[in-house]
């Protein structure tokens, strides 16, 4: 079973991303949703996700803070930044993290889902 983690404080974005994944993935999967990166960080070792979608601009712990603190022990999930920012500096900074597979702009589109999960 594929395990997918969504970390985003915007419930509409999370809803859209979840629906898009649900309609376009053909294998068994489970989605874990977090509106708070601190809570996600605590639960991730038990989840062992295959994919992680991360928003950058969140209160308490930003996506950048999360990337600094996240060091998976038993799995190496594909991390996708999912942000409304189109600032080249953010894209460049995200690409400096080895675990970040791609920087995607919100809202997530079907084309990206098919590329990620195929």
Q: Is 110 contained in some domain?
A: no
Q: Rounded to an integer, what is the distance from CA 17 to the centroid of its chain?
A: 10
Q: Is 105 contained in some domain?
A: no
Q: Is 104 contained in some domain?
A: no
pLDDT at residue 69, as a whole number: 95
For the cut 80, the answer to whether the pLDDT of residue 118 exceeds it is no
pLDDT at residue 52, as a whole number: 97
Q: Write out pLDDT tens, residues 41-95.
A: 999 999 999 999 999 999 999 999 999 999 887 778 999 999 988 889 999 999 9
pLDDT at residue 12, as a whole number: 94
Residue 110: band (very low, low, confident or very high) from pLDDT cuts 50, 70, 90: confident
Q: Write out pLDDT tens, residues 14-39.
A: 999 999 999 999 899 999 999 999 99
- Is the pTM of the predicted complex or chain greater than 0.85? yes
Residue 2 belongs to domain spanning? 1-48+60-84
pLDDT at residue 44, as a whole number: 95
Q: Is 13 contained in some domain?
A: yes
Q: Is 55 contained in some domain?
A: no
Q: How many domains does the chain have?
A: 1
pLDDT at residue 65, as a whole number: 97
| Site of tokens 């038990």 | 46
Q: How far is CA 75 from each of CA 6, 69, 95, 109, rounded to the nearest angstrom?
A: 16, 15, 20, 26
Q: Name the token pair of 22.
A: 């649900």
Taking Cα atoms as reference points, which of 2, 103, 118, 115 lies closest to residue 53?
A: 103
For residues 56-78, one letter each, b for 16 or more C-beta atoms within 10 angstroms of the residue's C-beta and e for the rest, the string is bebeebebbebbeebeeeeeebb
Q: How far is CA 74 from each of CA 35, 47, 49, 55, 70, rounded to the nearest angstrom?
A: 24, 10, 10, 23, 12
Q: Is 28 contained in some domain?
A: yes
pLDDT at residue 64, as a whole number: 96
């Amino acid at each position: 079973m594929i395990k997918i983690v969504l970390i985003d404080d915007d419930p509409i974005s999370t809803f859209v991303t979840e629906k898009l994944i649900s309609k376009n993935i053909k294998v068994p999967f489970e989605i874990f949703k977090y509106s708070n990166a601190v809570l996600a960080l605590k639960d991730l070792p038990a989840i062992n996700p295959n994919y992680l979608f991360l928003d950058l601009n969140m209160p308490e712990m930003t996506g950048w803070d999360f990337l600094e603190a996240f060091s998976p022990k038993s799995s190496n999930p594909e991390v996708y930044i999912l942000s409304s920012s189109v600032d080249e500096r953010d894209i460049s900074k995200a690409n400096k993290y080895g675990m970040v597979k791609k920087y995607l702009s919100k809202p997530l589109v079907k084309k990206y889902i098919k590329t990620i999960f195929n």
